[in-house]
Chains A and B, each alone.
Chain A
Amino acid sequence: MNILSLMGEDIVEFFTGFGNDFYLNFIKNARWKYLVNGLGVTMKVTLFAVLIGIALGFLVAIIRATHDKAGMMSPLLKAVLNVLNFLCNVYLTVIRGTPVLVQLLIIYFVIFASVRIDKSFVAIVAFGINSGAYVAEIVRGGIMSIDQGQFEAGRSLGFSFAQTMWYIIIPQTFKNVLPALGNEFIVLLKETSVAGYIALEDLTKGGDIIRSQTFSALLPLLAVAAIYLTLVIILSNLQKLLERRLRSSEK
């Protein structure tokens, strides 16, 4: 009897404590706005970085695959392609060989040092360029895995190399690399959490600001983690849905 009533008091105490904590971290001074605004920034940065990453990645992958696969061409074109391919290789080596955080800091504190510039723009550029390198390798692998007979069939009908790529190879590549691309974007979403290093108020930074004001770490950080987790689960399901729809077009 005694014990039970003691436990009951503990439970009551726990919940009032939790309620107080919750009030302190999220309600008081409208602190929840740090999370909501941060979420907006994180989603904006991720979305535009993904778009840059796809564009850059496909471009680099197509240049590299053309360099490896294209047959006879004029010497001038060949020289241009060699230069482009070299530049692409430098890009891939440097970007994949250094941490994304270092790249972000260099872009913010070195390249854009002398100009006042929107921090989320810097983050979009940095994460977009970084993601492009990984997308490029995913897509190049996808292009190279398409059967050589598909190229030959396209060329034998009279399509140019570019037309064969566009009508025949890229659509098949896209479908093949979709799982890997989806994964890359989930990684990117979480990677943007280092954007706080350039004082961009993204989701992670929002949680951190609350912690620094309330000196209470548990709830703000758990909330941040829960929001990331929810976003990733939503993205994974969207990806599955898209894959299923693409696959069903072949049945």
Chain B
Amino acid sequence: MKNNETKKTFNPDTDPLISVKDLKKSFKDLHALNGVSLDIYKGDVVFIVGPSGSGKSTFLRCLNRLEEPTSGEVYFEGVEITGRNVDINRHRQKMGMVFQQFNLFPHMTVMKNMTQAPRKLQHKSKEEAEAEARVLLDRVGLLDRADAYPNQLSGGQKQRIAIVRALCMKPDVMLFDEPTSALDPEMVGEVLQVMRGLAEEKMTMVVVTHEMAFAREVASKIVFMAEGQILETGTPEEFFNHPKTERLKSFLDRIL
């Protein structure tokens, strides 16, 4: 018996790049996610917002299985990556991630931070990996810091390096977990500028953030989460000007 449905080839233009189906995650007695479903298409810039403790970071971390979902499925480029026999490391190479705390490797120079994964995982030569890294460093204005160590950089510089480190793997999607929350206010702008550039290049992005003005400006779609569920999904226009649920209305009242 042939099962054609699971063999169906993935079409990046019509099929969702990431498809999440009824995702649940509990930590002991705490239900962080109560059945979340979402499709993310190529070129989407999806912002996930909501009160703290609503499960948005957990949801993001389930997308590349840094957090193991309790149940439900995540499909990435047509492959169920929540399955038992999936080589998750291979898929993670295509999903860049940026963390709130930067998580640069302190024992490596900026250049090594950026070239380690391409060299070891994609078997690029030192020259090739470094040439690509320099192009990206130049783009974020940090070419002169290639030989610096992370503790010599400011917070904003660290986060820009963290973004280009992920980009070095040429990912198909970038996941941002509150990328500006640990930054001093005057450094937020330089990081958002880099993200804005990525969005303009049609990089698929999933962003968990509290930067509402930035979401309004850059997002193609905003997802509102509360109590481990998606309560509302819409364009920035719908989200800010025509909120449908009471929950979102009161959320917007409090933050705007």
A152 and B90 within 8 A (CB): no
**In whole angstroms, what is the CA distance A133 to B84 when docked?**
36
> Within residues 208 to 251 of chain A, which ones have a CB less than 8 A from any CB in chain B?
249-251
> In the complex, how many angstroms separate the beta carbon of A39 from the nearest chain B beta carbon?
37
Nearest-neighbour CB distance to chain B for A77, whole angstroms, equals 12
Which of A79-87, A103-111, A167-175, A197-205 is found at the contact surface with chain B? A167-175
Q: B165 to chain A: which residues have CB within 8 Å?
A: 157
In the assembled complex, B193 has its CB within 8 A of some CB on chain A = no
Bound CA–CA A93/B23 (angstroms)? 43
Nearest CB in chain B to that of A174: its residue: B107
Taking A153-B97, A156-B99, A167-B120 as given, write out 20 further A-B residue pairs in contact, using a Cβ cutoff of 8 Å, ordered by the A residue number. A72-B65, A72-B68, A150-B103, A152-B103, A153-B104, A153-B162, A155-B66, A155-B89, A156-B66, A156-B97, A157-B116, A158-B89, A158-B90, A158-B117, A159-B121, A163-B120, A168-B105, A171-B107, A250-B106, A250-B107
Q: Identify B103's interface contact among A71, A149, A158, CB under 8 A.
A: A149
**Do B93 and A250 touch (CB < 8 A)?**
no
A16 on the interface (CB 8 Å rule)?
Answer: no
Contacts of B64 in A (CB 8 A): 156
| Residue of B66, B90, B95, B107 with most partner-chain A CB within 10 A | B107
Residue pair B107, A156 in contact (C-beta under 8 Å): no
Query: Would you call A160 an interface residue if the criterion is a C-beta within 8 Å of the partner chain's C-beta atoms?
Result: yes
Q: Which residues of B contact A168 (CB under 8 A)?
A: 105
Please tell me if B149 contacts chain A, counting CB pairs below 8 Å.
yes
Inter-subunit contact A153/B99 (CB<8 Å):
yes
- Bound complex: CA A249 to CA B106 (Å): 10
Q: Which B residues are in CB contact (< 8 Å) with A154?
A: 105
* Sample (30) of A-B pairs whose CB atoms are under 8 Å apart: A72-B65, A149-B99, A149-B103, A150-B103, A152-B97, A152-B103, A153-B162, A155-B66, A155-B92, A156-B66, A156-B95, A156-B166, A157-B93, A157-B117, A157-B121, A158-B90, A158-B92, A158-B93, A158-B117, A159-B89, A159-B117, A160-B89, A163-B120, A167-B120, A171-B107, A172-B105, A172-B107, A249-B107, A249-B149, A250-B106
A-B contact count (CB 8 A): 70
Main secondary structure, interface of A, reads helix
Question: In the assembled complex, which residues on chain B have CB atoms less than 8 Å from the CB atom of A74?
Answer: 84
In the assembled complex, the Cα of A157 lies from the Cα of B92 at a distance in Å of 6
A156 engages B92 (CB within 8 Å): yes
Distance (whole angstroms) from the CB of A117 to the closest CB of chain B: 42
Do the beta carbons of B105 and A150 come within 8 Å of each other?
yes
A61-108 interface with B by 8 A CB criterion? 71-72, 74
Q: Which residues of B contact A251 (CB under 8 A)?
A: 149, 152
B107 touches A175 (CB 8 A): yes
Q: How far is the CB of B232 from chain A (nearest CB, A)?
A: 28
User: Is B101 positioned at the interface, with any CB of A under 8 Å from its CB?
Assistant: yes
B154 at the interface (CB under 8 A from A): no
A-B pairs, top 4 by smallest CB distance, nearest first, are A158-B93, A153-B103, A156-B97, A149-B103
